[in-house]
Amino acid sequence: MRKADVWKLFGQILQYYPSFSGNEQKVDAWFELLNDIPFETAMTNLKRYAASVANWPPTVADLNKRLEPVKDSITVYHDQLRSGAGQHMNNLKRSKGAAAPPQDSVRERMRGIAERIAARRNQ
């Protein structure tokens, strides 16, 4: 990105955020942090930012990001499912390791219930 591109970026920010102001020092500071980012990337980041955060102007950090592909809603949904399933499996493993066998009284009671059910089936 060139300094002239930073001025163009400031002009576009001003279109979205009338309270935004820029001067030569601010352009120099932003240019120092944005010079390795393509102008198109910074502009796309600005448009994404303006579409989602309408209350205040962006900082240089909001525009100094490499573009990540936009995920469709199905991909986001599947990513959430995978994450939830992984967490669930980890919880199961942790629970299995912490599980304790039933007390003898509970075992005897369950054995009695199982015998009564088996006796009813044989009738």
Query: Domains of the chain: which residue ranges?
Result: 3-63
The encoded tokens of residue 115 equal 């015998």
What are 22-73's pLDDT values in tens digits? 899 999 999 999 998 899 999 999 998 898 876 889 989 888 877 666 677 8
How many CB atoms sit inside 10 A of residue 63's CB? 23
Over the stretch 52-62, which tens digit does the pLDDT of each residue have?
Answer: 876 889 989 88
Contact between 31 and 3 under an 8 Å Cβ cutoff? The reply is yes
Which CATH architecture does the domain made up of 3-63 adopt? Answer: Orthogonal Bundle (1.10)
For residue 95, what pLDDT is reported?
87
**Residue pLDDT, tens place only, 85-105:** 999 999 988 888 788 888 999
